[in-house]
Structure 1
Amino acid sequence: MTARVKLIWDFRGPNAQPIAAHHAKHLEEFAVAEGIPNAQTGTEPLSDMHTIAFLIVPWDLMESLRSRLKPNRGQKVSET
């Protein structure tokens, strides 16, 4: 299996969860439109006032997508 990276967008405040969910929907649409293989999208609540939206993609697409989508941060996804 190829290495993967999780591109992360942080949303904070009382409306963080619905905004992150809306952003994740656009990330999913983007992944389909671009034909990104094995892309995964979703949200994760980190606290009542902080939720992330994420896009998991193959490592070799990271630099191109990072410059186009401007995530706040990223992390390597462990292969299990």
Structure 2
Amino acid sequence: MNRKIKLLWDFRGEDAKETAIHHTKHLKEFAELENLSFYEIDILEKNPMLVCAFISVDENNLKTFRDALKPHRGEITS
């Protein structure tokens, strides 16, 4: 069974939300350009000074995303 992995990038500071939103645009562009499938691209607002951008992908695509985009961390979601 193939697991879903959430790759996350953390942004901190007053502009964290705007930066995270902008980063999601680049995540989508990369996936489309490389013709890679994904489940979801969005942000998680921990607090006004810490916001994460994320993409959820199949584990079999993990290495491609990880090596090219260098996420700060990852989580197994299912």
Which ranges of structure 2 fall in alignment gaps of 5 or more residues?
none
Root mean square deviation, CA, Å = 1.3
Q: In 2, Cα distance between the equivalents of 1:38 and 1:7?
A: 11
Alpha-carbon contact 2:38-2:55 (below 8 Å) kept: no
Q: Which residue of 1 aligns with 2:40?
A: 40
Q: TM-score, normalised by structure 2?
A: 0.91
Which ranges of structure 1 fall in alignment gaps of 5 or more residues?
none
Which aligned segments of 4 or more residues in structure 1 are displaced greater than 4 angstroms? none
Cα–Cα, structure 1 residues 37 and 58, in superposed 2: closer, same or farther, change >3 Å?
Answer: same
Q: Which residue of 2 aligns with 1:5?
A: 5
Which amino acid in the other structure matches residue 71 of structure 1? Answer: P
Which amino acid in the other structure matches residue 66 of structure 1? Answer: R
Identical positions, percent: 38
Q: TM-score, normalised by structure 1?
A: 0.89
- The alignment of Structure 1 onto Structure 2 pairs a total of residues equal to 78
Please say if 1:27 is aligned against 2:20. no
